Amino acid sequence: LSAPAELEGWTGHDVTVADIERQIAGLRQASAARTDGPDLRTSVMTHMAWVPEEWVDAAHETLGGLAERHPSRTILLVPDPDAESGLDADLSLRCFPLHEHHGHVCSEVIELRLRGDRTRAPASIVTPLLISDLPAFLRWRGRPPFGEPELVQLVDVVDRLIVDSAEWPDLPEAYGELVEVFDSTAVSDIAWGRGLLWRRELALSWPRISEVRELHVAGPRADALLLVGWLRSRLGRPVRLAHEDADALAAVALDGEAVSPPRGEDRSASDLLSEELDRFGRDPVYEDAVRAAHV
């Protein structure tokens, strides 16, 4: 995958949504004028991300690996509730050459800093910026404030909420709050995506695995909880979890017997997010696993 050919940008302090729309249109015109052939705006989805300050670098890194595979309008919302009220915008256009074509395909990145009381009603800021008739995905960085207005509002305008429960400090309790969201929107969990290859591997142990009493997991706590939740819910019986903390899912054992590691490459944060953006409906197997992980 090639790097962006063009990077157009604009930064504004204390802006309005109308300013943003006008400037984005201006960037597109400028980009088209500088390149040979038309610049197409891709029309796949609006990708929105709620990114508290401490997650900004990680979010940029993920976005860098994502843009070519899911070109879309991305709206990064960076809340800064303690600052003076206002809205700052950092706009950029990322254009990629189209093979065998003249012209480029471009995706727009709108980074908004929501200052002071502007953090209270984020949906009213992003709704006018959603691309009509396309699905909207919300990636929530860090622990979502379940029940708080900013989350409730944004969940209301998107088709799917994407979290990474490995970013949450209070597991498994937080899963208890997450299940409350299931009836409002479809949820994806990147921690669940990370465990897919292991789940496939474990499924091959059927029917021996049906009698398992203890699952030992060396890996992030979220990944371990979801894995045991999955086994409990699918097998319909209690399974004890023995967890050993590690940065990545490194080893799994069933009743003390090691499971051979799955064949497959480590996927980057961008790959994992990209996979979640391909899904639309609810995932009942995941939802059951979360409920059982919380038990």
Partner 1 sequence: MARVVEQQPENPLLAGLRLRRTPEPCALVIFGASGDLTQRKLIPALYSLAFRRLLPENFGVVGVARTEASTEEFIERMEEAVKEHGRDEFRQDVWDALAEGMRYVATDFADEGGEDVVVEVLNELDRERGTAGNRVHYLAVPPAAMSTLIRELGERRGREGWTRLIIEKPFGRDLGSARSLNQQLAEHFTEDEVFRIDHYLGKETVQNMLALRFANGIFEPVWNRQFIDHVQITVAESLGIGGRASFYEESGAIRDIFQNHLLQLVALTAMEPPIDFTADSVRNEKVKVLRSLHTPGPKNVVRGQYGPGFIEGVEVPGYREEEGVAPDSATETYFAAKLYVDNWRWADTPFYVRTGKRLPRRETTIAIQFKRAPHPPFEETAADGLRPNVLLVHVQPDEGVSLAIGAKVPGQGMSIRTVHMDFLYGGAFRTGLPEAYERLILDAMLGDATLFTRTDEVEEQWSLVDAITASWPRDRPSFPNYAAGSWSPPSADELIHRDGRSWRRH
Residue 7 or 285: the one with the smaller Cβ distance to partner 1 is 285
Name, in order, each residue with C-beta under 8 angstroms of 101's C-beta and a sequence gap of 6 or more: 37
Query: What is the C-alpha separation between 290 and 104, in angstroms, rounded?
Result: 42
CA distances from 130 to 7, 125, 136, 154, 245 (A): 21, 10, 7, 12, 40
For position 238 contacting partner 1 by CB under 8 A, the verdict is no
The nearest distance, CB 105 to partner 1, in angstroms, is: 4
Q: Do residues 31 and 8 lie in contact, with contact meaning Cβ atoms separated by under 8 Å?
A: yes
Q: Do residues 258 and 252 lie in contact, with contact meaning Cβ atoms separated by under 8 Å?
A: yes
For position 131 contacting partner 1 by CB under 8 A, the verdict is no
The nearest distance, CB 71 to partner 1, in angstroms, is: 6
Q: What mask, x for binding partner 1 by CB under 8 A, covers residues 75 to 104? A: ---------------------x-xxxx---
Residue 52 or 262: the one with the smaller Cβ distance to partner 1 is 262
For position 280 contacting partner 1 by CB under 8 A, the verdict is no
* Torsion sign over Cα 5, 190, 272, 135: negative
Residue 236 or 256: the one with the smaller Cβ distance to partner 1 is 236
- The separation between the first and the last C-alpha atoms of the chain, rounded to the nearest angstrom, is 43
Number of residues that bind partner 1 (CB under 8 A): 35
Name, in order, each residue with C-beta under 8 angstroms of 205's C-beta and a sequence gap of 6 or more: 254, 259
Contact set for partner 1, span 179-198 (CB under 8 A) = 196
Residues near partner 1 (CB under 8 A) are 1, 40, 42-44, 68-71, 96, 98-101, 105, 196, 199-200, 202-203, 206-207, 209, 230-231, 234-236, 263-265, 283-286
